[in-house]
């Protein structure tokens, strides 16, 4: 719809308020038997037994992605908006979908009112993530009523869950399009169908996607970039929905990854983060002997100042990787190593396949090889029937490792996962109280880590203006510490030395200095 039509539409709405009811009725009719049939043939609910048996078939690589001629230009004069929830993988998927939209001629907008297509790229990891999305779907309803041509789509991890799709079908008639994490490359066709048809369009493949190279991307910035190295997860931790929503582990070919990083370096990017749900399993599905350590050993030779990777699984973190990380250079010494719990019995119930002792051994090995390395982690409190003593093991492990940061969560039962069926006698009140105690520790360690920088000079990759004050610039150190400091805007996009004047709990304040001597 163009501007003129939109204006007319809103005028019509003002003089004809009953139009709203007509639109709602039309939306309700969209739950037709036809597409429910379609949905049933293309979609399967998460199923542990089936999912764990998967993975025998070979992954196919496709290098020939192209937007079909008939969809090119479909978006000319139209705008798209993608709201992203959840992890970096989703943020990067949004960059790919943005790239596809823009190749179709769509322009981005941040205003929902201006958009012709709104996609919610969703996260299923915890219940509160899902609640946020349902809240947003509700907020979008008046827009759809006002403008029936608006397309509202739900994609990402939630769309891989049967219960979610059913709830949308039954209750949220404003949603026109639902597609899964393996269907992103089908976006042109799907949006086209949604534009044309008066039916809802649903395409959720439960079959793991192949690896599709050369998808267009519109990266969110020109300083730091995400690079997928693998998709999916085969770990099946008992609490986690990811192996169902993201499918089996599929590694990209090393040459494709290396070429992408080289290209980013040539474009002037200063930092890449290699992405995967379980990056340490990289290469296990390739028919060559090649792992994350080998890949990092190649990538460290590329002329890009900073290389990070996330997320690691302690179980697969091998000696080869440690040996390569110890070579330093552009490989950043700040390692995100989710532990989840400090108690071996809980770890066993979580299906993590390592013990507290093995985890500490690994941390010791890394520290020995890279004495200046430091760590952040993820922790779940209130796993079903976690006792006070078991929780205290998590607190003491935190002390032993001396993590500098942590993402902490209360266990959230996810439909279809084994832990959701575990009987649980621990009250939510108690879980919240534990989370508070853990967070107090996390804050104290972060503050202590920050304090050691006072008076020191740190190298900061300057990303832009500080969120709260446009006169102040902000960026991150090698150890991912946020630094706010005064400097000319010409520093943006560069790595500059900054003298730290004040340490806060989660950030540092400082002043840019000229010389790089004694950089911490
Ligand atoms: N409940 C709470 N936290 C979870 N995580 C994953 N699944 C759940 C769940 N069901 C956490 C883990 C993981 C991080 C991304 O989210 O700590 O590392
Ligand atoms: Fe989920 Fe990570 Fe475990 Fe995979 S390794 S199942 S993504 S917590």
- The predicted-structure confidence for 351-382, as pLDDT tens digits, reads as follows 999 999 999 999 999 999 999 999 999 999 99
Q: What is the pTM of this model?
A: 0.90
The string of DSSP letters for 244-296 reads HHS-S-EEPPHHHHHHHHHHHHHTT--EEEEE-TTGGGTTTTSSSS--HHHHH
Q: Is 261 within 8 Å of 275 (Cβ atoms)?
A: no
**Beta carbons within 10 angstroms of residue 465's beta carbon:** 15
Q: pLDDT by residue (tens digit) across 404-417?
A: 999 999 999 999 99
The predicted structure's pLDDT at residue 42: 52
16: buried, middle or exposed (CB in 10 Å: 19+, 13-18, 0-12)? exposed
Other beta carbons less than 10 A from residue 429's beta carbon: 8
Beta bridge partners of 498: 458, 512
Residue 26 has pLDDT above 90, yes or no: no
Give the Cβ contact number of residue 124 at 10 Å.
Answer: 27
Determine contact, residues 302/274, Cβ cutoff 8 Å: no
Asked whether 430 and 381 are in contact (CB, 8 A), the reply is no
Mean pLDDT to the nearest integer, 161-187: 93
Q: How confident is the model at residue 52 (pLDDT cuts 50, 70, 90)?
A: confident
Q: Where are the beta strands (DSSP E) in 311-404?
A: 334-336, 374-381
With a 6 Å cutoff on the Cβ, whether 126 touches ligand 1 is yes
Whether the CB-CB separation of 171 and 194 falls below 8 Å is answered with no
Go through 273-295 and write b for each residue having 16 or more CB atoms within 10 A of its CB, e for each that does not: bbbbbbbbbbbebbeeebbbbbb
Q: Which long-range contacts (CB under 8 A, 24 or more apart) does 8-17 make?
A: 9/146, 9/147, 10/146, 13/146
In percent, the amount of the chain with pLDDT more than 90 equals 81
In 3-state terms the chain splits into helix, strand, coil percentages (rounded to 5) of 40, 20, 40
Position in ligand 1 atom list of the atom nearest CA 410: 2
**244 Cβ closer than 6 Å to some ligand 1 atom:** no
CA distance 462 to 46: 42
Task: Give the count of beta carbons closer than 10 Å to the beta carbon of residue 382.
Answer: 21
CA of 240 to the centre of ligand 2 (A): 6
Question: How does residue 206 score in pLDDT terms, banded at 50, 70 and 90?
Answer: confident
pLDDT value of position 257:
98
Predicted pLDDT at 37: 42
User: 5-9, 169-173, 265-269, 408-412: lowest mean pLDDT where?
Assistant: 5-9
Nearest atom within ligand 1 for CA of residue 413: 10
Detail the DSSP E strand segments found in 357-490.
374-381, 405-410, 457-465, 473-476, 482-486
Q: No. of H helices and E strands in the chain?
A: 16, 21
The residues, any chain, with a CB within 8 Å of residue 142's CB and separated by 6 or more, are none
Kindly state the tokens that stand for 484. Answer: 């706010």
Neighbours of 353 (CB within 10 A): 15
In order of their start, the domains of the chain are: 44-203 (3.40.50.12160), 216-451 (3.80.30.20), 457-512 (2.40.50)
Does 34 have pLDDT greater than 70? no
Distances (CA, A) of 80 to 182, 302, 494: 21, 35, 31
Ligand 2 atom with the shortest distance to the CA of 236: 6
Return the residue whose CA atom lies nearest to atom 6 of ligand 1.
240
Ligand nearest to the CA of 277: 2
Q: Which of 26-40, 54-68, 478-492 has the highest mean pLDDT?
A: 478-492
Percent of the chain with pLDDT over 70: 89
From 279, 394, 409, 416, the mutation candidate for ligand 1 (largest count of ligand atoms within 8 A of CB) is: 409
Mutation test of ligand 1: which of 380, 398, 403, 413 has the most ligand atoms closer than 8 Å to its C-beta? 380
What is each CA distance from 330 to 303, 309, 513, in whole angstroms?
8, 12, 22
Q: Which residue CA neighbors atom 1 of ligand 2 most closely?
A: 240
CA–centroid distance, 366 to ligand 2, in Å, is: 22
**What 3-state DSSP class applies to 171?**
helix
* Ligand lying nearest the CA atom of residue 48: 2
How far does residue 414's CA lie from ligand 1's centre (Å)? 10
| Whole-number Å distance between alpha carbons of 151 and 143 | 10
| pLDDT tens digits, 297-315 | 999 999 999 999 999 999 9
193: CB partners within 8 A, 6+ apart:
201
Å from CA of 450 to ligand 2 middle: 29
pLDDT digits (tens, 9 = 90+) for 383-399: 999 999 999 999 999 99
pLDDT (average), residues 215-236:
95
Question: How many Cα atoms within 13 Å fall on the side-chain side of residue 160?
Answer: 29
Per DSSP, the three-state class of 201 is strand
Report cis status (omega within 30 of 0) of the bond before 172.
no
Identify the three-state secondary structure at position 221.
Answer: coil
The span from the CA of 140 to the CA of 175, in Å, is 9
pLDDT, residue 31, reads: 44
**pLDDT given at position 57:** 64
Residue 357 burial (C-beta neighbours within 10 Å; 0-12, 13-18, 19+): exposed
Identify the pLDDT of residue 46: 66
Average pLDDT over residues 160-187: 93
- Measured in Å, residue 232 CA sits from the centre of ligand 2 at 9
């Amino acid at each position: 719809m163009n501007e003129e039509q939109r204006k007319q539409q809103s005028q019509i709405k003002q003089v004809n308020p009953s139009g709203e009811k007509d639109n709602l009725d039309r939306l309700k009719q969209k739950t037709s038997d036809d597409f429910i049939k379609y949905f049933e043939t293309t979609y399967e609910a998460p199923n542990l037994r089936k999912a764990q048996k998967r993975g025998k078939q070979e992954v196919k690589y496709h290098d020939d992605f192209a937007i079909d001629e008939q969809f090119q230009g479909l978006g000319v004069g139209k705008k798209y908006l993608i709201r992203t929830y959840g992890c970096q993988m989703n943020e990067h998927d949004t960059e790919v979908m943005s790239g596809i939209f823009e190749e179709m001629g769509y322009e981005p907008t941040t205003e929902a009112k201006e958009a012709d297509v709104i996609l919610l790229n969703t996260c299923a990891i915890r219940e509160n993530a899902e609640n946020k999305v349902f809240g947003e779907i509700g907020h979008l309803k008046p827009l759809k009523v006002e403008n029936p041509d608006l397309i509202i789509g739900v994609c990402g991890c939630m769309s891989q869950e049967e219960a979610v799709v059913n709830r949308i079908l039954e209750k949220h008639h404003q949603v026109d399009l639902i597609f899964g994490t393996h269907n992103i490359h089908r976006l042109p066709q799907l949006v086209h169908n949604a534009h044309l048809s008066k039916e809802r369009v649903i395409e959720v493949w439960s079959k793991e996607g192949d690896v599709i190279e050369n998808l267009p991307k519109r990266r969110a910035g020109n300083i730091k970039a995400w690079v997928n190295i693998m998709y999916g997860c085969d770990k099946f931790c008992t609490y986690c929905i990811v192996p169902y929503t993201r499918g089996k582990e599929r590694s990209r070919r090393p040459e494709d990854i290396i070429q992408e990083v080289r290209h980013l370096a040539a474009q002037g990017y200063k930092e890449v983060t290699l992405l995967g749900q379980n990056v340490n399993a990289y290469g296990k599905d390739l028919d060559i002997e090649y792992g994350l350590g080998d890949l990092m050993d190649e990538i460290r030779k590329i002329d890009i100042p900073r290389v990070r990777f996330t997320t690691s699984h302690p179980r697969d973190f091998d000696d080869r990787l440690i040996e390569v990380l110890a070579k330093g250079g552009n490989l950043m010494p700040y390692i995100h190593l989710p532990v989840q719990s400090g108690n071996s019995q809980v770890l066993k119930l979580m299906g993590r396949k390592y013990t507290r002792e093995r985890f500490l051994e690994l941390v010791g090995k890394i520290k020995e090889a890279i004495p200046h390395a430091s760590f952040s982690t993820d922790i779940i409190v209130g796993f079903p029937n976690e006792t006070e003593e078991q929780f205290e093991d998590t607190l003491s492990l935190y002390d032993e490792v001396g993590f500098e940061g942590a993402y902490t969560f209360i266990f959230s039962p996810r439909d279809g996962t084994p832990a959701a069926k575990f009987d649980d006698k621990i009250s939510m009140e108690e879980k919240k109280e534990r989370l508070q105690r853990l967070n107090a520790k996390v804050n104290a360690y972060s503050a202590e880590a920050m304090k050691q920088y006072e008076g020191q000079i740190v190298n900061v990759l300057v990303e832009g203006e500080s969120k709260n004050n446009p006169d102040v610039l902000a960026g991150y150190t090698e150890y991912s510490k946020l630094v706010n400091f005064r400097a000319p805007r010409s520093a943006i996009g560069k790595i500059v030395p900054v003298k730290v004047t004040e340490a806060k709990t989660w950030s540092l304040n400082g002043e840019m200095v000229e010389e790089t001597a004694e950089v911490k």
